[in-house]
Amino acid sequence: MKIKSQKDFWSGLMFVVVGLGFAWGATNYSFGSSARPGPGYFPLGLGLLMAILGAVVLFKALAVETEDGDPIGEWAFRPLLIIMASVGLFGFTLPLLGMALALPIMIVMCSLAGDEFHWKDALISVVVLTLGSWLIFIKGLSLVIPLWPKFITG
Amino acid sequence: MDLINNLMLGFGVAFTAQNLLYAFGGAVLGTLIGVLPGLGPVATIAMLLPSIYALDATPALIMLAGIYYGAQYGGSTTAILINVPGESSSVVTAIDGYAMARKGRAGAALAAAGLGSFFAGCVGTIIIAAFAPPLTELAFKFGPAEYFSLMVLGLIGAVVLASGSLVKAIAMILLGLLLGQINTDVISGVPRYSFDIPELTDGIGFVAIAMGIFGFGEIVTNLSKPAEHREVFTKDVKGLWPTAQDFKDAWPAVVRGTALGSILGVLPGGGALLASFAAYTLEKKSRGRKDEVPFGKGNIRGVAGPESANNAGAQTSFIPMLTLGIPPNAVMALMVGAMTIKGIQPGPQVMTSNPQLFWGLIASMWVGNAMLVILNLPLIGIWIKLLTVPYRFLFPAIVVFCAIGSYTLNNSSFDVYMTAGFTLVGYIFYKLGCEPAPLLLGFILGPMMEENLRRALLLSRGDWMTFASRPLSASLLVAAALMIVVVMLPSIKAKREEAFQEED
């Protein structure tokens, strides 16, 4: 069988798998009855409904002709992974190193995600954004964010 | 008169120094993000949600509202000057607005857009003030069954008017509802889908979803496209004031656009985007004077109509959110979230329990609109300068704001990891052609919907017919079903696809 719309095929599959996953997970919770719906009642129904709609999308992807096959195209792994990694790392380093170090690390790292990278531009961003965040979030809004590394503040 | 008294109360609240300042701040920020392509109001409001912890509810919501309608203004500026609509709602403005700019009439186009929007904003404010109380009265008669049906209607309405595949959009709503199921069940106290992770028993923060999908997801999407070259018509912005003939041509379009936008804004999913498309079509169909410039070549009505309509729509889309607690679009969903953060349960009781907030917010919209005219017309030069900021400076700033924002929500790294995770989810949605806005609506409404469904079933002793036998509930469900059927009709389907084709 030929896939006639790549995008619809994979999204349909996603809806079916995730829907069934939620429905299967819902069986761990009491279903109750219609008169006394339990915690599993609503998610089971929703999950099955989503799986059915996913199947419809899947069927259309295999049956209905499209002009160019709706290709998904190249995945931009580079920006995706860099952005995710730099944000994830920030979550890890912020409590340990404080904003004064964690922010510059994240800014330099995520700047690498762009087409062009210049140290000068990245350093400008580091200075402006770190100072700006300190002014806005810590001084202005007085939010509780660690500023200095743990090994300095103790 | 009640209307006058209420508005007086509202203006009393709006005209305090603090609230004026936040309305101004919101309007400036909104214009800024409207001007900057690649940063939408949804991502911005999500980014700013943590900062509202430090504020009272009223100034916080006034600021967020300012961002929303400010973005509509800012988006039209870029549409006219560089043919890049900053917001999807100004896509049609670009057609005639850019043509006017190329003829050296950018000033007249900007003025028509600004003044038209201001007029629409004034009318929109009055409409909200007039229609909110009766709607609230009606909402108090709603039982759980009616609320459930209303939410079904709201969610369905939000997708039939959106672009793309209807089935996929409904599936995205369901995915949102399911993500909303990751929490501790209110009735039985059982944690669901938490995989023994304590942070998940409180549910996924909607800020993590909004920032991950709309903030970071958009950054990745933008970075994956080659940088585009922009041409700015800066030197030609002179002669800001339109001619008398321009006024004569534009004002009927402004009135029509405002009327159309006000009506469409109230509909779920309508809001600004649909309003501007419909207004452009209406202007094209209606007859102007004989020797006017043809549409597409710089007709001022093609700017004034859609711009008034999208602003009126942006205003009146507050009505379902304020009176029923049901968000008609993604921005309103975030406003509902903001209210919840501030401990206000959205719904019909807000008007009576927080009259200061309710009427203050409404009055501040008018104030904000007035500020926007002042901001946009004389200060246009500053906004134009901002257009030249390269994206390589812009996106690290967005990353920083989102990252800090997601951390400060609960002062925990867990939310930051979740946000990073939803970046991947958002990018997958983009790649697979699934629009994420319905997911956010479903996610916000999920817990409320479940509660009302289960309460309705409890009350009816498990009889599902309760949704069909109660007249109000039944008519809401019939309306939802009709919407789907109408959109599925072959003739309408073709028209709908055609309309969204123009958008691309």
Q: Check CB contact under 8 Å for A72 and B428.
A: no
Q: Band of the pLDDT at B504, cuts 50, 70, 90?
A: very low
Residue from B63, B168, B201, B213 to probe the interface with A (highest A Cβ count within 10 Å): B168
Q: Band of the pLDDT at B503, cuts 50, 70, 90?
A: very low
| pLDDT number for residue A15 | 92
Q: Where does A37-140 have alpha helices with state H?
A: 41-63, 77-97, 99-111, 119-133
| Whether B245 contacts chain A with CB within 8 A | no
The answer, yes or no, to whether residue A51 has pLDDT greater than 90, is: yes
Mean pLDDT rounded to a whole number for chain B: 81
Contacts of A79 in chain B (CB under 8 A): 219-220, 223-224
- Residues β-bridged to residue B184: B191
Could you tell me which residues come within 8 angstroms of residue B1 by beta carbon, excluding any fewer than 6 positions away? none
- What number is the average pLDDT over the span A7-25? 90
| 3-state SS class at A32 | strand
Q: Check CB contact under 8 Å for B190 and A60.
A: no
Q: Band of the pLDDT at B350, cuts 50, 70, 90?
A: confident
Q: Check CB contact under 8 Å for B403 and A90.
A: yes
Give residue-wise pLDDT tens across range B212-227: 888 888 788 888 876 6
Nearest Cα neighbor of B100 from B363, B300, B304, B353 is B300
Count of beta carbons in the 10 Å neighbourhood of residue B4: 9
| pLDDT number for residue B499 | 55
| Inter-chain Cβ pairs, chain A and chain B, closer than 8 A | 205
| pLDDT number for residue A16 | 93
Give residue-wise pLDDT tens across range B101-121: 878 788 888 888 888 888 998
Contacts of A110 in chain B (CB under 8 A): 395-396, 399
Q: Check CB contact under 8 Å for A115 and B393.
A: no
Contacts of B414 in chain A (CB under 8 A): 91
Of B221, B226, B433, the CB nearest to A7: B433
Residue from B48, B166, B192, B415 to probe the interface with A (highest A Cβ count within 10 Å): B192
Length of chain A: 154
Give residue-wise pLDDT tens across range B140-169: 778 888 888 888 888 887 777 666 678 888
DSSP A135: I
Q: Check CB contact under 8 Å for A39 and B188.
A: yes
Q: Check CB contact under 8 Å for B167 and A87.
A: no
| Whether A94 contacts chain B with CB within 8 A | yes
- What number is the average pLDDT over the span B477-487? 85
ipTM of the prediction:
0.90
Q: Band of the pLDDT at B230, cuts 50, 70, 90?
A: very low
| Whether B186 contacts chain A with CB within 8 A | no
What does each C-alpha distance from B316 to A88, B41, B124, B310, B374 come to in angstroms?
39, 17, 6, 10, 22
Contacts of A50 in chain B (CB under 8 A): 171, 174-175, 178
Give residue-wise pLDDT tens across range B57-81: 888 888 888 888 888 788 788 778 7
A50: burial class by Cβ within 10 Å (0-12, 13-18, 19+)? buried
Place of tokens 């995915």: B175
Q: Could you tell me if A15 and A53 are in contact, meaning their C-beta atoms sit under 8 angstroms apart?
A: yes
Q: Where are the domains of chain B?
A: 2-503
Please give the residue that has the higher pLDDT: either A92 or B485.
Answer: A92
Q: Band of the pLDDT at A54, cuts 50, 70, 90?
A: very high
Q: Where are the domains of chain A?
A: 6-63, 77-153
Of A30, A36, A79, the CB nearest to B223: A79
The percentage of residues in chain A with a pLDDT greater than 90, rounded to a whole number, is 24
Place of tokens 């709006």: B14
Contacts of A125 in chain B (CB under 8 A): 393, 396-397
Contacts of A117 in chain B (CB under 8 A): 392
| 3-state SS class at A2 | coil
Q: Check CB contact under 8 Å for A53 and B224.
A: no
Mean pLDDT rounded to a whole number for chain A: 86
Give residue-wise pLDDT tens across range B9-67: 888 888 888 889 988 888 888 888 777 766 677 777 877 777 777 788 888 888 888 88
| pLDDT number for residue B433 | 84
- Residues β-bridged to residue B191: B184
| pLDDT number for residue A89 | 93
Q: Band of the pLDDT at A86, cuts 50, 70, 90?
A: very high
Contacts of A76 in chain B (CB under 8 A): 220-221, 223-224, 427
Q: Could you tell me if B310 and B22 are in contact, meaning their C-beta atoms sit under 8 angstroms apart?
A: no
Contacts of B411 in chain A (CB under 8 A): 144-145
Q: Band of the pLDDT at A49, cuts 50, 70, 90?
A: very high
- What number is the average pLDDT over the span B323-344? 82
The percentage of residues in chain B with a pLDDT greater than 90, rounded to a whole number, is 3
Q: Check CB contact under 8 Å for A57 and B457.
A: no
Could you tell me which residues come within 8 angstroms of residue B337 by beta carbon, excluding any fewer than 6 positions away? B49, B206, B207, B444
The answer, yes or no, to whether residue B502 has pLDDT greater than 60, is: no
